[in-house]
Amino acid sequence: MRKTVKLTELIATANRMLASSVDSEQAGRLAVSVLLETVLFDHGAYAGFNYLASEFLPASEQTDTNALRPNYDDSRRRYFTHHKLVSGS
């Protein structure tokens, strides 16, 4: 049986996994990121990512805009959906 998965659904699923997994699962989150980035690059649909809000310093502690906290978790990411996936172009 062959099943086609929409890239928008794959991004949404990966984002949920990256945001909600337990802290000890960092290696798993990095694997999800590598897989997702590979698929998105292969389809010309990579649109970047941002770290989750939990990885930034509170505004009251920032000297630079959007400064990451010390020892931030590189695997806590949210991937963006490429405009061509939502507009159909």
29-66 pLDDT, tens per residue? Answer: 999 999 999 999 999 999 999 999 889 888 788 777 77
Average pLDDT over residues 54-83: 87
Whether residue 2 lies inside any domain: the answer is: no
Burial class (CB in 10 A: 0-12, 13-18, 19+), 36: buried
Structure tokens, 84: 């061509």
Report the number of distinct structural domains present in the chain: 1
Whether residue 1 lies inside any domain: the answer is: no
Residue 58: what pLDDT? 84
Whether residue 30 lies inside any domain: the answer is: yes
Distance from C-alpha of 14 to C-alpha of 78, rounded to nearest angstrom? 8
Q: Is the pLDDT of residue 12 over 60?
A: yes
Domain that holds residue 17: 7-87
Any idea how long the chain is? Answer: 89
Whether residue 49 lies inside any domain: the answer is: yes
pTM of the model: 0.85
| C-beta of residue 30 within 8 angstroms of C-beta of residue 74 | yes
Whether residue 24 lies inside any domain: the answer is: yes
Q: Closest Cα to residue 77, out of 41, 29, 44?
A: 29
